[in-house]
Amino acid sequence: MLGVSTCWRSVRSNSGKAILEDMRNLGIKAVELEYRVSPEVFAQMQPALEKRQPMVISMHNVFPAPEPPRKPGGD
């Protein structure tokens, strides 16, 4: 089975729902979840992914992207 990586749209969109909708509109039925997907975007994708719409065929290590480190507060 072939799939398309979410990197195809994740750089241009902050909406997990829109990323998956764009893929569905092209007939893509399987995806690879790549490391730039934030926890917030993944949460938006999760309902569709749990229904396998689309099917996840690969998950990038580390996924979802970890939160950026906090800057020192100086205290």
CA trace torsion 8, 12, 18, 20 (10° rounding): 10
Q: Residue 22 belongs to what domain range? A: 4-59
- Domain assignment of residue 41, yes or no: yes
- Domain assignment of residue 70, yes or no: no
How many structural domains comprise the chain? 1
- Domain assignment of residue 66, yes or no: no
pTM beyond cutoff 0.75? yes
Identify the pLDDT of residue 63: 81
Q: What is the pLDDT of residues 15-29, one digit of tens each?
A: 999 999 999 999 999
Identify the pLDDT of residue 52: 95
- Domain assignment of residue 18, yes or no: yes
Query: What's the CA gap between 59 and 62, in Å, rounded?
Result: 8
